[in-house]
Each structure stands twice: as C-alpha cells, then as structure tokens.
Structure 1
C-alpha cells in the first residue's frame, strides 16, 4: 500500500465515523489540570536549580577549607647523617 492509498483509506475511515461527543465541562477541567502540571514542573525545576546551587556552594566551601590540591605535610623527617 503506497502513501496515496493509505491517505485515502484514512480519509474514508474518518468520514464514516462521526466525531466523538465531548462533555461540555471538559475544557475547564483540562485547563485546570494543565495549569497544575505546569506549576508542579516549574516548582520541580526551581527546586532542582536550588539544589544545584546549594551543592555548588557546599563544594566550594569544602574546597576552600580542605584544600585538596595542596600536598599534606610530611609526618616523618628523613634521618640526618654526615654532619
């Protein structure tokens, strides 16, 4: 079945079946749910940014305090000979 035949078959099916009946109060319900989903996603995104910023600040503070790039001081001294 090529593209033209498929399109014709789909058009025939769509013309034969009547459109489904939609309840009258569906639109406000969908708008309410959509707004709630948008608010939740926005809150989740803000929470993720807040956690990312807090983790960055915590890492910077730890790096400043611990200074992991500095070699720790030697705990033993080499023996002194031939003075």
Structure 2
C-alpha cells in the first residue's frame, strides 16, 4: 500500500466518523483537577525549598561548631627524654 493510498484511506475513515460526544461536565472536572494538580505542585515545591534551606542551615551550624577543617589535637604525647 503506497503512502497516497494510505492517506486517502485515513481521510475517508475520518470523514465517515462523526465526532465523539463530550460530556458537559468534562470541562469543569478537568479545570478542577488541573487546579488541584497545580496546588499540589506548588506545595511540593515550597516544601522542597524549605527542606533545602533547613539542610543548609543545619550544615552551617554543624560546620561552625565542629570545625572539620581544623586538624584535631594529638592524642599521644611525645616521649619525654633528657630529664
């Protein structure tokens, strides 16, 4: 079957079918669900930003209190000789 005949067949099939009936409440349901999705997405985004900020603050407090960049003090003393 060539491309032209396939296109003609599809056109005929589309012309013969009547458009599907859409329920009248479909639009309101779609708008309501879309609004709910947007609210959930906004809340999730805000929660993630708050968690990121809290993690940054916790890391900063930990780094200031522990100071991991400072070398820890020696745990053993050198031997005492020459007394």
Q: TM-score, length-normalised on structure 2?
A: 0.83
Confirm or deny that 1:21 pairs with 2:12: no
1:13 CA displacement: 2.8
SS of residue paired to 1:74: coil
Aligned to 2:58: 58
Q: SS of the residue aligned with 2:70?
A: coil
- Tell me, in whole angstroms, the C-alpha distance in 2 between the residues paired with 1:52 and 1:43: 14
Residue 67 in structure 1 maps to residue 67 in structure 2: yes
- The separation in 2 between residues aligned to 1:55 and 1:32, in whole angstroms, is 35
State the shift of 1:19 in Å: 1.1
TM-score norm. by structure 1 comes to 0.83
1:24 to partner: Cα distance: 0.9
Structure 2: any 5+ residue segments left out of the alignment?
none
Per-residue CA deviations over 1:14-59 (Å, capped at 9, x if unaligned) read 2222111001111111101100000000000100010011001000
Question: Which residues in structure 2 correspond to 1:26-37 (within 5 Å)?
Answer: 26-37=26-37
Equivalence for 2:44: 44
Note closer, same or farther for the CA distance 1:69–1:37 as it changes in structure 2 (3 Å cut). same
